[in-house]
């Protein structure tokens, strides 16, 4: 992939507003709540989350799917006549949508289950809350390490060509960059230190992965023995009994979240907020965790054993375990510059 193509993937798809003149979306089905979700496991989302909501409330729900960037672009195109009511989206993309005026603030009085959630789930700007989260750490082969490896082991000669590192375009990429900045520099904003660390690692890296399935396959086959990643990437491998584990890093413990956002101009605001509150309920959170590994933000929800096994004590209370939310303001101010540097200095 050329540097120019990588910049387009990382930056333009994320940041460039799409003019409304480019065309509108398909007309929505009248009278139905439209919920936009990730493409991954969308069939399980419908069975475990959407269908019980329909039975409980009598509200008809239409599910749309797609990648973060594509769905954000669609919201931009249709901002004057939105075709979606609720969007489930990664925190960084959600923050961009908030900044661009694509989402409305929620009425927290209509979200009683928010009181049951971890404090980090509450949106500081008053917009949609986080309904699940993932943690940055190290996924590794337990048949190659007797103890969890830290950042310093990524560059050891014994593991040259057996290390994977997240591309900046994947969800783990930016948190890993800020973690390197914290570990080897003056703090998460020290991009120079982070890029120097990446440049030192580059000769030892087998791949800068840009899909979670790619990483899982490399770990499963033993071609990669360690990789900075989100904890959720290890869950399916651990559930299958593969010699894989995940552990938090000593420096830069970062939480990334998915948010449930209320689309500005929704024709079904009351039902949309009802759905968002439903997502935060203990029962819904437990079904989502059991069906597709979404870690609950509701403090009363019980974790499936495999999630507790992978994430450890951080699954019960990530803040107490030293994790902190990603600084989204820092990222939005710097992503274009970071993306160009990554394409030029690391991927090129």
- Cα(152)–Cα(155) distance, integer angstroms: 7
Closest CA to 139 of 286, 249, 293, 252: 249
pLDDT digits (tens, 9 = 90+) for 99-117: 999 999 999 999 999 999 9
pLDDT of residue 31: 74
Quickly state the pLDDT bin for 23 (edges 50, 70, 90): very low
Site of tokens 């274009």: 336
Can you tell me the mean pLDDT for 193-216?
95
pLDDT for position 14: 47
What is the predicted pLDDT for the residue at 69? 86
Residues 41-85 have pLDDT tens digits of: 889 999 999 999 999 999 999 999 998 889 999 999 999 999 999
Q: Virtual CA dihedral for 13, 227, 249, 287, nearest 10 degrees?
A: 70
Q: Using a cut of 0.85, tell me whether the model's pTM lies above it.
A: yes
Instruction: Summarize pLDDT for 163-187 with one digit per residue, the tens.
Output: 999 999 888 999 999 999 999 999 9
CA-based nearest residue to 139, from 163, 174, 110: 163
Question: What confidence score (pLDDT) does residue 270 get?
Answer: 97
Mean of pLDDT values over 258-276? 97
pLDDT for 348: 78
Task: Provide the phi-psi class of 74: left if phi over 0, else alpha when psi is between -120 and 50, else beta.
Answer: alpha
Residues contacting 177, CB < 8 A, separation 6+: 168, 191, 194, 198, 338, 342
At 114-160, the pLDDT tens digits run 999 999 999 999 999 999 999 999 999 999 999 999 999 999 999 99
């Amino acid at each position: 992939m050329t540097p120019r193509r990588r910049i387009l993937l990382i930056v333009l798809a994320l940041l460039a507003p799409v003019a409304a003149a480019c065309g509108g979306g398909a007309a929505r089905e009248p009278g139905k709540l439209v919920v936009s979700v990730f493409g991954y496991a969308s069939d399980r989302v419908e069975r475990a989350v959407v269908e019980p909501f329909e039975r409980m409330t009598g509200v008809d729900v239409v599910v749309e799917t797609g990648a973060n960037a594509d769905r954000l672009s669609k919201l931009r195109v249709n901002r004057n006549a939105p075709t979606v009511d609720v969007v489930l989206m990664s925190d960084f993309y959600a923050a961009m949508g908030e900044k661009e005026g694509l989402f409305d603030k929620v009425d927290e009085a209509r979200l009683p289950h928010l009181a049951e959630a971890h404090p980090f789930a509450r949106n500081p700007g008053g917009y949609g809350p986080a309904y699940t989260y993932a943690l940055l750490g190290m996924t590794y082969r337990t048949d190659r390490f007797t103890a969890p490896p830290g950042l310093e082991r990524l560059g050891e000669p014994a593991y040259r060509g057996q290390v994977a590192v997240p591309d900046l375009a994947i969800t783990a990429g930016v948190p890993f960059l800020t973690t390197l900045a914290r570990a080897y520099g003056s703090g998460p904003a020290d991009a120079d230190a982070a890029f120097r660390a990446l440049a030192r690692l580059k000769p030892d890296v087998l791949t800068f992965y840009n899909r979670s399935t790619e990483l899982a396959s490399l770990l499963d086959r033993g071609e990669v023995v360690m990789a900075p990643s989100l904890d959720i990437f290890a869950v399916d491998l651990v559930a299958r009994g593969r010699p894989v584990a995940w552990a938090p890093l000593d420096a830069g413990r970062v939480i990334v979240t998915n948010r449930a956002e209320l689309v500005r101009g929704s024709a079904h605001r009351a039902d949309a907020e009802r759905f968002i509150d439903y997502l935060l309920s203990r029962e819904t959170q437990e079904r989502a965790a059991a069906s597709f590994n979404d870690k609950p933000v509701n403090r009363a929800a019980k974790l499936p054993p495999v999630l507790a096994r992978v994430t450890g004590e951080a699954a019960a209370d990530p803040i107490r375990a030293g994790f902190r939310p990603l600084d989204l303001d820092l990222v939005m101010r710097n992503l274009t510059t970071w993306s160009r540097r990554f394409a030029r200095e690391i991927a090129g």
